[in-house]
């Protein structure tokens, strides 16, 4: 909820831009850190959700680790202050160069996703004369009850090693001289709201996997249960900070009965992305035109699917707010809010009730802090929307100031 003075400051900035509320980020990280301490979780922030350097430096400064999915993310995370021993690196298609980068920095773990990748990591580490820290990603075959594009833990998904290869995996790991086996990794999907059910099931599978390999002499010292905690896109102001308590409690309870003959308890890791950063970001855009269709009224904005692709890619819902109208006394209308890009999927929302809106009004597309700016493209040769920070509005350079609409 922004006050009138803040909105007046935002009105002066050229749109579109991403607005980050660092105070909300602080509260969110506070809660995650508090609950991680209470339930014994080690938290690695999933850098791919938002790699804005100020956000990364802030999260690194709070002592969290990083979860990366490319060599560039590993390098960037290191540059933003994440220590190598807290960086995990997952992904089904790491290149030899990316593996060398990770191995040479001695990161916490390379999370291997196929038998062949384990062989390649072993041979690269051997050539470099070091031992590579490796976690093995297992495909737990669990339905996360989320969008099919963000479900990752089913047999039909490309991620992780499936059960029918477990025997071969055990044999392979025992024979790799240049690998330091650290444990198992699971990640079942994203925007998971069914916390109790999905994560209890994940823990059950994790316990079974640990027990199976312990019997073959492979002891896990770490279990990484991935990310995926969902957020409230419908009503971000009602739930600005996700329920880390419920998530971590479910995981802790789920892992409490883990048994590994004669071994210490593995430490438990999580990799939240969306839940840490989604609510602190909004995409701020202006209404360029109000257009009267046959049965619809369109608000056409200056931000498009190139700035935030989630609605076009997943049919994702983002709440749209008219910031300028909060200072006016006006009735409600129903609008289709759409972007300027030459694709019919470039739609923010259909039949949205909003205060009567006019050309020049500022709109906030809420909950855009995760998988927003990081997925932007220059499609249609449009410019990238820059970052603006709510606590640093006075530092916005003149070059980003608004040119008045005609």
Ligand X SMILES: *Cc1c(COP(=O)(O)O)cnc(C)c1O
Kindly list the residues in this chain that would bind ligand X in the complex (CB under 6 A). 46, 48-49, 67, 69, 90, 187, 190, 226-229, 271-275, 370
Nearer to ligand X, 228 or 266 (CB): 228
The H or E element spanning position 75 is helix 71-79
Nearer to ligand X, 185 or 286 (CB): 185
Nearer to ligand X, 304 or 369 (CB): 369
Tell me: cis bond preceding 399? Omega within 30 of 0 counts.
Answer: no
Smallest separation, CB 93 to ligand X (Å): 12
Smallest separation, CB 44 to ligand X (Å): 8
Nearer to ligand X, 49 or 354 (CB): 49
Residue 324: which of 14, 9, 11, 1 has the closest Cα? Answer: 11
| Dist CA 121 CA 97 (whole Å) | 11
Do 301 and 339 contact (CB within 8 A), yes or no?
yes
Beta bridge partners of 299: 290, 337
Smallest separation, CB 222 to ligand X (Å): 14
Smallest separation, CB 194 to ligand X (Å): 14
Nearer to ligand X, 192 or 325 (CB): 192
- Say how many Å lie between the first and final Cα of the chain, rounded: 29
Do 254 and 140 contact (CB within 8 A), yes or no?
no
Nearer to ligand X, 229 or 365 (CB): 229
Smallest separation, CB 289 to ligand X (Å): 35
| Dist CA 384 CA 382 (whole Å) | 7
Smallest separation, CB 327 to ligand X (Å): 35
353 class by beta-carbon count within 10 Å (0-12 exposed, 13-18 middle, 19+ buried)? exposed
Q: Longest Cα pair distance anywhere in the chain, in angstroms?
A: 75
Nearer to ligand X, 7 or 33 (CB): 33
Smallest separation, CB 391 to ligand X (Å): 24
Residue 199: which of 260, 144, 137 has the closest Cα? Answer: 144
| Dist CA 96 CA 120 (whole Å) | 8
| Dist CA 278 CA 223 (whole Å) | 25
């Amino acid at each position: 909820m922004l006050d009138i003075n803040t909105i007046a400051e935002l009105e002066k900035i050229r749109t579109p831009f991403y607005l980050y509320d660092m105070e909300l980020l602080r509260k969110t990280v506070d809660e995650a850190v508090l609950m991680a301490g209470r339930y014994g979780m080690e938290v690695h922030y999933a850098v791919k959700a938002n790699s804005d350097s100020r956000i990364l430096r802030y999260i690194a400064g709070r002592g969290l680790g990083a979860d990366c999915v490319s060599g560039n993310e590993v390098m960037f995370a290191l540059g933003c202050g994440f220590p190598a021993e807290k960086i995990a690196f997952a992904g089904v298609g790491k290149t030899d160069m990316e593996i060398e980068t990770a191995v040479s920095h001695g990161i916490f773990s390379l999370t291997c996703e196929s038998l062949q990748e384990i062989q390649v990591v072993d041979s690269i580490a051997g050539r470099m004369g070091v031992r590579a820290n490796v976690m093995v990603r297992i495909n737990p075959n669990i339905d996360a009850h989320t969008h099919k594009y963000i479900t990752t833990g089913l047999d039909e998904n490309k991620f992780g090693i499936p059960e029918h290869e477990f025997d071969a995996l055990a044999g392979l790991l025992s024979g790799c001289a240049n690998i330091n086996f650290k444990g198992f990794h699971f990640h079942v999907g994203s925007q998971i709201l069914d916390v109790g059910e999905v994560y209890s099931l994940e823990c059950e599978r994790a316990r079974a996997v640990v027990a199976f390999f312990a019997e073959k002499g492979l002891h896990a010292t770490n279990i990484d249960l991935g990310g995926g905690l969902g957020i409230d896109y419908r009503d971000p102001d009602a739930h600005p900070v996700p329920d880390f308590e419920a998530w971590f409690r479910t995981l802790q309870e789920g892992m409490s009965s883990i048994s590994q003959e004669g071994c210490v308890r593995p430490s438990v890791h999580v990799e939240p992305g969306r839940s840490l950063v989604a609510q602190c970001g909004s995409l701020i855009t202006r209404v360029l035109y109000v257009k009267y269709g046959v049965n619809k009224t369109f608000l056409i904005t200056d931000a498009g699917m190139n700035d935030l692709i989630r609605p076009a890619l997943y049919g994702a819902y983002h709440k749209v707010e008219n910031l300028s109208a909060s200072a006016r006394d006006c009735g409600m209308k129903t609008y289709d809010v759409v972007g300027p890009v030459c694709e019919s999927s470039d739609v923010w929302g259909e039949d949205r009730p909003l205060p009567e809106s006019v050309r020049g009004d500022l709109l906030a597309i809420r909950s855009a802090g995760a998988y927003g700016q990081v997925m932007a493209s220059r499609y249609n040769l449009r410019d990238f929307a820059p970052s603006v920070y709510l606590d640093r509005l006075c530092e916005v350079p003149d070059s980003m100031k608004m040119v008045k609409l005609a």
